[in-house]
Amino acid sequence: MSESLDFLVHLLDLETIEVNIFRGTQPNEERQRVFGGQVAAQALMAAGRTVDQGRVHSLHSYFLRPGDPKVPILYEVDRIRDGKSFTTRRVVAIQHGRAIYNMQASFHTEEDGLDHQIAAPDVEQPETIPTLFERIKAASNGQDIDEWFKRQHPIDQRFIGELPWSPTRPREPTKQVWIKADGTLADDQLLHACVVTYASDMSLFDAILGPHDIRWDDGTFMGASLDHCMWFHRQVKADEWLLYDMDSPIAHGARGVARGFLFNRSGELCVSMVQEGLTRIVTPRQG
């Protein structure tokens, strides 16, 4: 397990403060706000810690305020329902006495039912694609590379086609990337679901930006996740390659919607995601 993945597992190992109350630590990084995937993953872990049976099958959540990356986050779990087949939990993430995020998660005991799915895209395999750092270095032409790309990261990302940070030009509102944890995780389905939740917020917004000559760092817009929903269809292994297939059907009124599907190497659809993001223009575009 890489050092960065080991630290992510540490972030997900929440401290129990009281019954139904947990505390999550923060990474020692320079950030303006807490990464949304982190708070979502920690909230799901808090919910899962209070569930005796069943695995998570869906979560629906809202990002309410930017999180402070310098202080821990408290997670308060409300045990909404414990049924024979379904268990429901509500989680509120709190900093400085205010809610920054809330989640409703549902857990389901496995049972048989109808079965169908869409086909997985036919794409090149991850072993044939250079790492993110290798691609950034090759495109840098000897210029300095941002420190973020030099750092070790818990999720290995192998982008298919152009990188999100490529020179700006309009393209289709789609994005595909292979992802997996950078190491081997313990055989704990809740942990794997939380790591996938963390990773799901890393690239989804990029599909919204595709048709627009905008980059995260060009200073022309303000982007942030507003909500995040996930459906876990099958047990998922976060330490094996997963194809993240994303698209954006619409951006309008300073908001955009992105959809994502995670397929395993066998072509099975494991997880579906939908996210709405803020896409506010802050600088008038010239020309």
Residue 123 CA to residue 120 CA, distance in Å, equals 9
**Secondary structure of the chain: what % helix, strand, coil (to 5)?**
20, 40, 45
Give the C-alpha separation, 108 to 89, whole Å. Answer: 12
CA 205 → CA 88, 121, 157, 224, distances in Å?
28, 20, 15, 8
272 is catalytic: no
Helix (H, G, I), strand (E, B) or coil at 198: helix
Long-range contacts of 33-37 (CB under 8 A, 24+ apart): 33/66, 33/67, 33/68, 33/69, 34/66, 34/67, 34/68, 34/69, 34/73, 34/100, 35/201, 36/63, 36/201, 36/224, 36/225, 36/228, 37/197, 37/198, 37/199, 37/200, 37/201, 37/202
pLDDT at 141: 66
Kindly give the residue spans of alpha helices, DSSP state H, lying in 14-55: 36-48
- pLDDT score at 145: 61
> Which residues fall within 8 angstroms of residue 229, CB to CB, at 6 or more apart?
58, 59, 60, 61, 273, 274, 275
Domain limits, the chain: 3-110+125-281
pLDDT of residue 169: 66
Query: Which tens digit of pLDDT belongs to each residue from 175-233?
Result: 999 999 999 999 999 999 999 999 999 989 989 988 887 776 667 788 899 999 999 99
* pLDDT of res. 285: 55
User: Residue 187's pLDDT is what?
Assistant: 97
Give the CATH number of domain 3-110+125-281: 2.40.160.210
pLDDT value, residue 198: 98
Tell me which of 95, 176, 225, 248 is the catalytic residue.
225
Give yes or no: 201 in active site.
yes
Q: Is 187 a catalytic residue?
A: no
Confidence at residue 148, expressed as pLDDT on a 0 to 100 scale: 59
Residues in the chain with pLDDT values less than 50: none
* Active-site entry in 201, 206, 239, 245: 201
